[in-house]
Structure 1
Amino acid sequence: MDFQLPETAQAVQKGVRELCADFGTDYWSRCDAEGRWPEELWEALGAGGWLGLAIAEQYGGAGAGLLELAVALEEMSAAGAGTAGAFLYLLTPGFGGVTLSRHGTPEQREELLPGIAAGTTQTCFALTEPDAGSNALALATHARRDGDDLLLRGQKVWISGVQRADWMLAVCRTTPAAEASGRTHGFSVLLVDVKEAEKAGTLRYTPITKAGNRIVQSNQVWFDDVRVPSHRVLGEVDHGFVVLWDILNPERILAASGGVGTAELALRLAVGYAREREVFGRPIGSNQGLAFPLARVKAQAELGRLMTHKAAWLYDRGEPCGDEANIAKLTAANAAWEAADRAYQTYGGMAFSEEYPIARLHRDARIAKNIPVAEELVLAHIATQGLGLPRSY
């Protein structure tokens, strides 16, 4: 058993760390304060090939895998982004690049993957609805046949990145639940041309005011008979759950990577402050009341990193990784939150000042316990799938 990262991942780790040295906490705090996408970093990542790591070389990518993508996100988060940085790798390299690489037709891959690898084509993902969050089986958004096309109608909520997206991966019902042959039958994943639908007046969205993660807007979205040609279906009509699981597992793994990087960043800041800040004639880090909680977070972060790398490794090998992806997400999200919270306590009253990045990391890390899936649902999955306990729902 070899716990050393493969050479490809080590090269990514070194390269992204060097690139992100110019985009530290001050840069991310400015983007957060201005509520703007980190455009300069995005362009640098695209130019350096760091967005196409999991895309085949024939489409302009690096031909690596989800592990390399996860390592890149981890380094970027640790450099200063925190959990907000996960959006840079989730929205397009993850939702778009990884999904199309595995489930896209040759024509879809040829059309979209080169732009995704370069960062010039951007994607977003639409699953959650007002009455169907974690319970995807309750989706009400539906698409009906109209000749060779599908007409998409319904509503989504908490859809991030619509403003920047060229394409949206939208999950909907194509067969009513009453007519479906099974619980997961009758769902499809459609590729929606966002700009075309906006121009036609069939897709509209409204931003949601948020407490954190301000670099990207999250939205309510309405579909009013959005026309989707049949060749824009990902996978097969009515069999979209196969595609959906290959969206959700990488989503959890990449979110976990952001959590591990955030824990690393918060710990680095807290330890640095604890070494320098003196009270009662000695550094506050010499007090076990501060030192022991930080040491415990360090242990949590390392465990989260191991499970995240394992889950990504399994995914790249085409092996089942649902349990590992969920455990990674749970462990890393809690490590990020505990690290940010302990950093807040270490800085004391100064953490409340926007002069430091602690308040930003703290508010951004909290939501990671709820998205992309609430930790209670993760625990329910582990209990039923990992332990074989009876279902509670």
Structure 2
Amino acid sequence: MSSPRQGWSCVWKAWRQSSVGSFKTLPYRQTRTLHAQTQEYLQSNQPDFTESQRTVRESIAKICSKYPDEYWLEKDNSKEFPTDLHADFARDGWLGICIPEKYGGAALGISEAAVMMQTVSECGGGMTAASSIHMNIFGLEPVVKFGTEEQKQRWLTPLVGGTERACFGVTEPNTGLDTLKLQSMATPDGDGNYILNGSKIWTSTAQIAQKILILVRTTPLNKVDKPSRGLSLFYTDLDRSKVQVTRIPKLGRAAVDSNVLFFENWKVNAADRIGKEGDGFKMIMHGMNAERILVAAEALGLGYAALRRASKYATERVVFERPIGQNQGIQHPLADSWVQLESARLMVYLAARMYDQGFETGEYANAAKYLASEAAFTACERAVLAHGGMGYAKEYHVERYLREAMLPRLAPVSKEMILNYIGERVLQLPKSY
């Protein structure tokens, strides 16, 4: 099976029976042998995966096999967006894995999407590969849940088909993670439009996107009874005659652009507002847990890719007449990283299954993102160290992995804010900030 447009009825049936219902895992290679050989490229013999998750893993692995590490090194050097990977995913229908079938999607769950994003990252593409399609998976969740039928037809179908790309504008230079203090304003002009003024930062793919999902204030902060009110959500054309897009030079993930947006007197039609005016923050929160789970899965993939390269190098590299992997100083850190990654993986897919069942998964989604990002960074760092001096060379790829492993530690939420959330919501401790 190569795409969700070929035989999804079978996958859908299996998913309904196993992922959303009883979560029974179908019998699969029930032997006493190891199921997760680290040196195997994109192995799919996970006994805890459902049939649909395995189908996704195997299908995505076939696509990703066309894009080896050398491809991603070239994209990193040239800072060129991987349009061919994006086109492959659009052609086979994978960009709509979580979007309803009537709009061209596959209507699968975050459990399947997480497998897809882990696999995309694990192929060696890391956060670059994942970020090139990331927005499609969770970004328009507010449209799916709160958009009108006309909006869904107008927006979801071209996104799934790959004819339009979208970016996401929430964070602002002066507010950072304090989303409720956003300063960008949208003011009605009396003719059925809003006039937007303000700025955004760390908006990915704005260099190549045609559309933007943007959160702005429609009521000033000093005129609302709660800070979470007065924010409105729009999905609209990225009008480059009114929006200045400036690329940010950065540490890693060079092929997928990050940008500062500055906009002045930008006219947006009221028909592009999602839901009621002032309810934007409530709507944007519906996609946050899904995003944390997917970022965690992407970090996992990067960690496994690093571990695969490190263990292979440690097997092949001979110093003092013995492979360096025979030395416990090399072997034990890599083994410890496998334990950390597998532990994080179990949390990631627990959070994904709970999300698909309709649970409020904030604590698990945040914990999964925390564990996966830390485990991935450690695995990437150890991969560089295991390579010795050659770990510093681009041709061995692990230095690129390490640079990209910083990203999930910082975004979309820092580990400190995750610990604040757990402290308040799970431990019921006083707010610390």
The answer for the alignment partner of 1:341 in structure 2 is 381
Any idea what SS the aligned residue of 1:220 has? strand
Specify the code of the residue in structure 1 equivalent to 2:81. Answer: W
Of 364, 380, 389, the match for 2:420? 380
The answer for the alignment partner of 1:239 in structure 2 is 279
The answer for the alignment partner of 2:101 in structure 1 is 57
Of 410, 413, 416, the match for 1:370? 410
Are 1:167 and 2:211 matched, yes or no?
A: yes
Q: Indicate conservation of the 8 Å contact 1:91/1:161, yes or no.
A: no
Specify the code of the residue in structure 1 equivalent to 2:262. Answer: W
Q: 1:338 Cα shift?
A: 0.5
> In structure 2, do the counterparts of structure 1 residues 9 and 104 end up closer, same or farther at CA, with 3 Å as the change threshold?
farther
Are 1:111 and 2:151 matched, yes or no?
A: no
Q: Distance in 2 between matches of 1:207 and 1:163?
A: 8
Q: Cα deviation per residue 1:308-358 (whole Å; 9 max; x = unaligned)?
A: 222222222332111111111111111110111000000000011111111
Specify the code of the residue in structure 2 equivalent to 1:170. Answer: I
The answer for the alignment partner of 1:133 in structure 2 is 176
Q: 1:268 Cα shift?
A: 0.4
Are 1:71 and 2:71 matched, yes or no?
A: no
Q: Cα deviation per residue 1:70-111 (whole Å; 9 max; x = unaligned)?
A: 111111111111122221232233213x33222322111101
Q: 1:2 Cα shift?
A: 4.3
The answer for the alignment partner of 2:394 in structure 1 is 354
Gaps of 5+ in 1: none
Any idea what SS the aligned residue of 1:190 has? strand
Any idea what SS the aligned residue of 2:419 has? helix
Any idea what SS the aligned residue of 2:425 has? helix
The answer for the alignment partner of 1:214 in structure 2 is 254
More moved, 124-133 vs 303-312: 303-312
Q: Distance in 2 between matches of 1:77 and 1:54?
A: 18
Specify the code of the residue in structure 2 equivalent to 1:390. Answer: P
Q: Indicate conservation of the 8 Å contact 2:80/2:256, yes or no.
A: yes
Q: 1:50 Cα shift?
A: 1.4
Any idea what SS the aligned residue of 1:368 has? helix
State the superposition RMSD in angstroms: 1.4
Q: Indicate conservation of the 8 Å contact 2:351/2:368, yes or no.
A: yes
The answer for the alignment partner of 1:266 in structure 2 is 306
Gaps of 5+ in 2: 1-22, 26-47
Q: Distance in 2 between matches of 1:370 and 1:222?
A: 23
Q: Distance in 2 between matches of 1:16 and 1:25?
A: 16
| TM-score normalised over the length of structure 1 | 0.95
Specify the code of the residue in structure 2 equivalent to 1:268. Answer: R
Q: Indicate conservation of the 8 Å contact 2:82/2:129, yes or no.
A: no
The answer for the alignment partner of 1:282 in structure 2 is 322
The answer for the alignment partner of 2:345 in structure 1 is 305
Any idea what SS the aligned residue of 2:245 has? strand
Q: Indicate conservation of the 8 Å contact 1:125/1:160, yes or no.
A: yes
Of 139, 146, 149, the match for 2:189? 146
Q: Distance in 1 between matches of 2:286 and 2:130?
A: 18
Q: 1:387 Cα shift?
A: 1.1
Specify the code of the residue in structure 2 equivalent to 1:357. Answer: H
More moved, 152-161 vs 315-324: 315-324
Specify the code of the residue in structure 2 equivalent to 1:371. Answer: A
Of 368, 384, 387, the match for 1:328? 368
Q: Distance in 1 between matches of 2:24 and 2:343?
A: 16
The answer for the alignment partner of 1:13 in structure 2 is 57
Q: 1:128 Cα shift?
A: 0.9
Any idea what SS the aligned residue of 2:133 has? helix
| TM-score normalised over the length of structure 2 | 0.87
> In structure 2, do the counterparts of structure 1 residues 242 and 318 end up closer, same or farther at CA, with 3 Å as the change threshold?
farther
Q: Cα deviation per residue 1:18-76 (whole Å; 9 max; x = unaligned)?
A: 11111121111111111011111111111111111111111111121222111111111
Q: Distance in 2 between matches of 1:24 and 1:99?
A: 34
State the identity as a percent. Answer: 35
